[in-house]
Structure 1
């Protein structure tokens, strides 16, 4: 029988692999959709941008609704139905006669991606010992980070070497194996009492948003806003400073740093508390964006990538661990996690629009210098308003598992 403190158990490894494959397909398709919309459907730049962005709308709706209804619908059923529909809506990319159809497919695909990722984020908590929560969430978060590094690289490589249909079919095959994995994985549903079920069935705002997690979700929004400057404008920025040739290694360095440091950050979180990793994450992101704003050489660009990985990469997983730390009611885990990720996704989603508007008044260097202030603002807000939570075992009455 496995020790209750064993982290790398069969369930943890399985759900982490499933999460990696789900995110891999997400990133694989994300980087090629705008190109496909323009080249195959004759879309304008703004239409192509909407084709990419509408996916986020579907994801946000799913996070809010599925996060609230997860325990009522059942974790097992939500995961299995969600992954099947994620596969089906991915296959629908094979039929794209118009930009309007592409919008519909992207919206639906985003919704079911959000459904599956919301379910996996809750399910993994069942397999992480409470004493190793920070470490477990950081290892689990590696699956997302690796997918974020491999997916875009693979997508761009295949786009130039093959065709959109080949990429869609390959993505569908990956998801087909993931469907099998989701049906093999042992997932326990929650047994809710009448009060918990009534809360989940209510349409009050607090049933969609976990008020205990709102603050850390707001911090996640600002951090996501800062990081969106890198995702959206780095490709254009490196052209202005003549560093295009080395820029492809920026995210490689970012991913390598996260891979090496996340397990360590998780152990520090468990041993010394959340503040021991949250404050450094704000500091490193701020310094990373500052270095990016003054970059003139290859080593400075890659060094900024390492610092940004230490900052945003550390925050992303440990912010999730904080959200879990704050919500003691196990029946509300789905709502707590969806609240956190809504904040993060919104920051990444609206950032390009807000910073794009800012770019009308400042140059890239000034923009990155200004975004470097955002993590500092987060650190100040966190110091003033974050009250934390005691690390204690959840009470039995908060919810029990049922087969």
Structure 2
């Protein structure tokens, strides 16, 4: 396909899209996906024929039959999944874009309707390619014949900016068996991404998958992740690097220790992976709990908080920010300082309350009752109160 391009950009992107999970927002049911994920595999149109050949080679080399289907690669075949992923990365240049939808954060009644859900999120996902490429062809896996035409028309109208200046922009819903078979590659990659980012269905060895695709993967979250990044004028990269090194070394020692419980092992592994994906993101409490609950029956948010408390006492830098739910690994001095300030907001008011009560007792008893001054068992508390401004 050739055409006039007002931006003199001769790139033509071929984009293949598939999803992981479903639109069900009632998360109380067992087995429900905690997240819905759109994943796109993007290649240069010049590599289209090469990609088709590689898809056929994968089917043959890994004995998959005529088609690649992520759901046919079972949990016990995880190593096979990793090897297929490595084969793709080693033999084809492509990038991966994913949109991770946290379904627990969906409060709109409209988005609880299946058709509205797919219209909204697919158009949101697709629209960004208008800013990335002047020319593209998008093939997206269809979700059923009853809704196919309606969804296609909606995306064409609301997400594809095609006009006189950008005529080479195409979108179509297709079946990955009878239609565009390269959508099977997106199906497989989407399955891998789901095992990394969908907490309720994430694999315990997800980090192995992420390490294969990390350099070519970009991720967006819904709702938009607004975790504040704390900047400092006295930023010291050497100190930041040392903090990361100390924390990761401590985590590695815990993971390699036979004394580390199953729950702690799962939590540390997941936090380490999330840190590699996005070091500034606070992983929501419910996401951590959902992940561990896959492997430990009856695990709860209360048990998670106890687990984090214990790991902090063991020297792991797991931090949280004031007013923001969730946890992350400390990566910098500013992370540590922000975390300490978070605790100060609780500690200082509590100390002030102690001082007020002690002052009242002392005043009304003519100092006959003054626990802070006279009780030696409260010596450490007295020292803390003396440090208050």
Q: TM-score range by the shorter chain?
A: under 0.3
Question: Which structure would you say has the larger RCO, counting Cα contacts within 8 Å and 6 or more residues apart?
Answer: 1
Task: Give the number of the structure whose residues are more often helix, by fraction.
Answer: 1
TM, length-normalised to structure 1: 0.23
